[in-house]
Chains A and B, each alone.
Chain A
């Protein structure tokens, strides 16, 4: 017999005055989404353990001294959550300003919309405000690391590390504002433990990591997502049966991803599945 999961108890939570019932173990974010509340997230990944580093998803939880990260805080019975209070909105606004003033968010999906929604004005920190601007690292033909766009969400590190790939090619190095995602001694990827699975690129929320095809096409000005189709099919290499989502522009594959809810891959691929399409 297939072992049954023990039944999950349901708990009641209040979100913005509305009663919501969620399974025990759900996060506040789950509860908010059940209630139909849209909360911005950046470092949250549907295949990763929440790191709650970016703090754009903070909400007000009654009785809590500080705001709580919705992505990681577990919902508790009787919890009263405010997603859109002045205090929560204020923190989200400033966090967006802090990010946008220090990091290039030009390829971060939704960033522009959120900034407008929260009235964020990153320019008010002045032109001298410190940034993480730096030239992109192009040290191989498969993917590019443009850390001027990196918000240090840790998702690439977690995907490369114990949560999925277990290659541990990168880590956060340094401290504070000077912290970076780095190989040991910042050696080039070609000298590192990287196996080019691209699972870091798959989870990057800002485009700091991008496939070389996308990076080059953006540089040429030919990258156009509105002209792209996405089709999910099966990898042509080994017999594991990984699901590939092919992003096609002008009858050319320009990017390969994998569905995050797929039981075979959970959104992960290897170098062949991710990059080995050159022959078609």
Chain B
């Protein structure tokens, strides 16, 4: 179902949604944007930056999340406070990431109630990327700037108006009252989509990549590419698909919390005995790449990277995952 939404009407529509739900959208914070709950539709800045710097996975897996509180000898659950939410202006790569993470958090044997509750309560109004960034590579990892998987609604920017491709019941609730798009408008939106995907470069091929990586497991490749890696958590914390967390009892706060954790930290794999099975950056870098491009493929038959380019842009030493994959493909054992 295709609806039409003049851009000038968007604030009014947001206001309408705000009566029923908390609306999240990219909001400017200094030189970047971050998803924040809106108190005024004017705060939403869908175009300031291509991607929000802080990944929207945080709306479902907050960086620090209280799992329960302890009051005296009682446990006090948290998480019930999640009410109906609309996420506006999330891009296809980040939406795709949420869908991949559903595989981790809900679709397998174990259900994560914290994640599931927030996902159920949320409607994703995705904004397709008409102008993908130089650092984006979604088309190389099996996705695209207008990948509709996971979207409740996909907005396609036609300049003065959006064509809204309404794809789920949740989406219908938000867009039902709007007029239908004309065939012309739908055709125009298809052109925008095709043009955007055509503009994108393809920095690497993924054919045979998984097997290649498994073959490289013990090779000198990892020691070579990791040399400049500082071992910080920028790539993994900004990554929309990295989901590792660490559970901590914050005794002074009377809380059990879970915090994002990253395989790039030395203490991530440190055992209580002091032994560390991933003692150096070499093993840690290998883990990060292998998880996304090999283990994830084994588990879900999908690459665990959506090509958003955050790790490429913000790595302090310009260690570029596209370059790593290219080098892996080209690596010959000497």
The answer to whether A and B interact is: no
Which residues of B line the A interface, CB within 8 A?
none
Q: Which residues of A are in contact with B by a Cβ distance under 8 Å?
A: none
